[in-house]
């Protein structure tokens, strides 16, 4: 699950993607199909670990919505096929901390009335966002908290937070797609891609 720093990625010509992003991307880092297949395995691992406990899935919006939806779908399918009936509730919080491709100091948390147990997240970059969120969840004294993040970035920063489950460890690059955005753009791209300088300039705010 480690994508190395010199991994060249896949050529954009191998796949389809929205025409309005032609010229804005460098390459495909993780194709959509691989994301979905890996998420299925995370669902299986999570199922194994939670035993007979009921779960509350806390989806971190907006970037985590695709991963969370696919993860929940896989947990549902696995539990149906295994005759182990896990009751699931789903809740949402919204966090915002990025401006262009930079992590900002002030973090906003909105929503989430039932902050407990499992959280489904898009990406752990510096890990700052996750720490703030966990501090907030712990106030509710849940029986167990597990964090699942699709991506973990290899940042040079020492305070790197490690989720309990993650899909891929990626180089310290700014990535978009599969609900991950650059100033709200590229969420409508299926694959996880690396944005190029042209794309960055075009959507800079
Ligand atoms: P952190 O606080 O640096 O860990 O950043 C966490 C949040 O920033 C994530 O939940 C994402 O929404 C956003 N983020 C971090 N890195 C990226 C990236 O490469 N692409 C898009 N969003 C990112
Ligand atoms: Mg964002």
Residue 112 has a pLDDT of 65
* Per-residue pLDDT at 179 exceeds 80: yes
Query: pLDDT band at 113, cuts 50/70/90?
Result: low
Give the distance (Å) from ligand 1 centre to CA of residue 13.
Answer: 27
Distance set, CA 42 to CA 48, 78, 83, 203 (Å): 10, 11, 19, 33
Range with the lowest mean pLDDT among 66-75, 91-100, 150-159, 167-176? Answer: 91-100
Protein residue closest via CA to atom 9 of ligand 1: 123
* Per-residue pLDDT at 163 exceeds 60: yes
- Answer yes or no: are the C-beta atoms of 25 and 12 closer than 8 Å: yes
Quick one: which ligand is closest to 192's CA?
A: 1
pTM of the model: 0.90
Tens-place pLDDT, residues 59-84:
999 999 999 999 999 999 998 888 77
For the chain, list the domains and their CATH numbers. 12-203 (3.40.50.2020)
DSSP structure class, residue 178: T
Protein residue closest via CA to atom 19 of ligand 1: 174
d(Cα 85, Cα 80) in Å, to the nearest integer? 7
Residue 105 has a pLDDT of 61
* Per-residue pLDDT at 159 exceeds 70: no
- Average model confidence (pLDDT) for the chain? 88
Which of 65, 66, 98, 135, when mutated, tests ligand 1's pocket best, judged by the most ligand atoms within 8 Å of its CB? 98
For ligand 1, residues with CB inside 6 Å are 63, 97-98, 103, 121-130, 174-176, 180
């Amino acid at each position: 699950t480690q994508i190395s720093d010199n991994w060249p990625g896949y050529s954009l010509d191998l796949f389809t993607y929205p025409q309005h992003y032609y010229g804005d991307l460098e390459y495909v880092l993780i194709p959509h199909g691989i994301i979905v297949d890996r998420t299925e395995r995370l669902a299986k691992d999570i199922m194994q670990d939670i035993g007979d406990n009921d779960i509350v899935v806390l989806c971190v919006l907006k970037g985590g919505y695709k991963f969370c939806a696919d993860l929940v779908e896989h947990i549902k399918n696995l539990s149906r096929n295994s005759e182990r009936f896990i009751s699931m509730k789903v809740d949402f919080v919204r966090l915002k901390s990025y401006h262009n491709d930079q992590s900002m100091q002030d973090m906003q948390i909105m929503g989430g009335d039932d902050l407990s147990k499992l959280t489904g997240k898009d990406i752990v970059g510096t890990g700052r966002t996750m720490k703030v969120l966990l501090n907030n969840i712990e106030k509710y004294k849940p029986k167990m908290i597990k964090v699942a993040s699709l991506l973990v970035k290899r940042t040079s920063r020492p305070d790197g937070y490690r989720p309990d489950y993650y899909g891929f460890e990626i180089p310290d690059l700014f990535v978009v797609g599969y609900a991950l955005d650059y100033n709200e753009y590229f969420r409508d791209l299926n694959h996880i891609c690396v944005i190029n300088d042209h794309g960055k300039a075009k959507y800079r705010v």
